[in-house]
Homo-oligomer: A and B are copies of this chain.
Amino acid sequence: MDIAIPLFDRFTALDAIGPYEVLSRLPGARVRWVGLEARTYESDRGLRIAVDTTLEEVPAPEVLVVPGGMGTRTLVDDPRMLDWVRGVHATSTWTTSVCTGSLVLAAAGLLDGVRATTHWAALDLLGELGAVPVADERVVEVGKIVTAAGVSSGIDMALRLAAKIARPEVAQAIQLVIEYDPQPPFDTGSTAKAPREIVELVRSAALD
């Protein structure tokens, strides 16, 4: 099971590492980190991940996971990235994204008229790129395309995917291995739940 995760500058670390931590534990999984060039890519908060493999060296992974981050705003205009995504999708078993990674799928033309999600602050942008934005589902599955909402939702998406790729018992075991029994200290993880002033605090960009 070949899994490809494309990286780029200004990716969001947890977008990529959440699904990685789950999917890399599937029996027989091989995760390939790929990039436009083989070099180190820096996340939006300064983490640097080394990438040895270029996009063209992994033309046909079975699973594609596109993470998000501010860097996607550049990627949506990058013909080489979009060509690669289209090519991968032609033969993939699963084409997936986390957070604003779905903007890249949309820019590649994969989401025209398709229900999909993204980070809550980017739903309008996703619509402008041709998708049908879904605001109230954390993971949206349409055929072989699976899009997840913001950042941490990639963990939930990957566990669902793991259950489809392997037996559900394997996904359940992976959930136990990563001790994913979440106990968030607050109930502010979505715009529907967070108080208005918290939403405004985030929208004011003081935090991101």
Q: Do A207 and B173 touch across chains, with their CB atoms under 8 A apart? A: yes
Whole-angstrom CA separation of A202 from B201 in the bound complex: 42
Category for how many chain A residues contact B: 35 or more
> Contacts of A208 on B, CB cut-off 8 Å?
25, 177
This chain's copy number in the assembly: 2
Nearest chain B CB to A107 CB, angstrom units: 21
Q: Do A151 and B173 touch across chains, with their CB atoms under 8 A apart? A: no
Q: Do B170 and A152 touch across chains, with their CB atoms under 8 A apart? A: no
Which parts of A76-96 form the interface with B (CB within 8 Å)?
Answer: none
Interface check A6, CB cutoff 8 A = no
Determine the residue in chain B with the shortest Cβ distance to A167. B201
> Contacts of A45 on B, CB cut-off 8 Å?
20-21, 24-25, 31
Whole-angstrom CA separation of A171 from B172 in the bound complex: 29
Nearest chain B CB to A164 CB, angstrom units: 10
Interface check A181, CB cutoff 8 A = yes
